[in-house]
Amino acid sequence: MERRAFITMMAGSIVAAPLEAEAQPASSTVHRLGILSPGGVPDPSVPTTPNLVPKALGELGYTEGRNLVVERRFADDKLDRLPALARELVQRRPDVIVAVSSQAIEAARDATATIPIVMVISTDPVAERLVASYSRPGGNVTGITAVAETSLAGKRLELLKEAVPTATRIAVLGSGSLSSSAQLKEAQKAAQTLRIKLLVVEVQDADYDRAFGTIVAERADAIFVIMGPTFLRDRIQIAERTVRHGLPAVCGTPELVELGALMSYGGSILDVARRVAAYVDKLFKGAKPADLPIEQPTKFELAINMKTAKTLGLRIPQSVLERADRVIQ
């Protein structure tokens, strides 16, 4: 499989200057970073933006307790709390705010027109009117969009069908979020071409036993896991149940594959965190958010858990294995 690196997404094929942070120590000045997330407080071991961005900043010379202060605010899946949390963050006078999800970005933008906001979003920020354009976002918002991840939903379904040719009924595990809807639409388009039936199962109140009970009752042959922060947080519960019920699953991150899901295809969460850190570093050093083009990840990797395949009695086609970037034995 050809590995593709991050590129800057530009309107009209305009090429922007790279945003790579200079290879030099960060200033001794103490910088303040705000992080606003719609989810709950993540376990330190979970690879999420709030956890990974400070670590990525550490690679650029910023250390919490020395020259970096990080103010974190979590809505605990209660989106109506985001506006108040955003205002609370602004009152702490951070130099930069990292906002995860369109709702958090909107709340932060409504709370301040001057503090730079670095967004991490899985939908189209231009369509949602969060920025003017990809090449020149304008205002005080810039950052990373994973809009390409949405378009990968069809490719993930295609890979699952190729790995499990007998699968004709595939359950789509969703959370009902906007990004889930966008990914679902792409999966539905692919399902028509692949001649498979999708069974949409929404997880309510983190009740995975009920969701998987429905999947089993509907006699699904496999599972397509929608990408999203909630499922990444609950990846252990999801992976454990796919193994327990003998269901091959495809997802967007290798973290689930490491825990037992059959396969994944998508971008690197760590790469996204490093790109976000690069934006934050530039802004700490005086760059204007209106002048920093928006990027999207284009480095996609295929991971396969062969131990799970063996447990499920599956023989992964050689054509799929040859394209794998990572094979877990």
User: What domains are there in the chain, each with its CATH number?
Assistant: 7-146+268-299 (3.40.50.2300), 150-267+301-328 (3.40.50.2300)
Determine the pLDDT at residue 26: 56
Q: Kindly list the strands in the beta sheet with 300-305, ordered across the sheet, starting from the edge strand earlier in the chain.
A: 197-202, 169-174, 222-225, 249-251, 263-267, 300-305, 326-328
**Under 8 Å between Cβ of 153 and 189:** no
The helix or strand, by DSSP H or E, that contains position 36, with its residue range, turns out to be: strand 31-37
- Which DSSP letter does residue 269 get? H
Residue type, 178: L
pLDDT above 90 as % of the chain: 65
Per-residue pLDDT tens over the stretch 170-227: 999 988 665 567 788 889 999 999 999 999 999 988 899 999 999 999 999 999 998 8
Instruction: Identify which of 119, 59, 73 has the alpha carbon closest to the alpha carbon of residue 281.
Output: 59
In this structure, what are the phi and psi dihedrals at residue 304, rounded to the nearest 5 degrees? -130, 135
The pLDDT-based confidence of 231 (bands split at 50, 70, 90) is confident
Per-residue pLDDT tens over the stretch 3-35: 443 333 333 333 334 444 444 555 579 999 999
Neighbours of 105 (CB within 10 A): 27
Query: Which residues have a Cβ under 8 Å from the Cβ of 134 and sit 6 or more positions away?
Result: 9, 10, 11, 126, 145, 293, 294
Rounded-to-integer distance, Cα 275 and Cα 298, Å = 12
Residue type, 160: L
Rounded-to-integer distance, Cα 293 and Cα 138, Å = 9
Q: What is the pTM of this model?
A: 0.74
Tokens of 16: 């922007």
Rounded-to-integer distance, Cα 22 and Cα 58, Å = 14
Tokens of 204: 């309510």
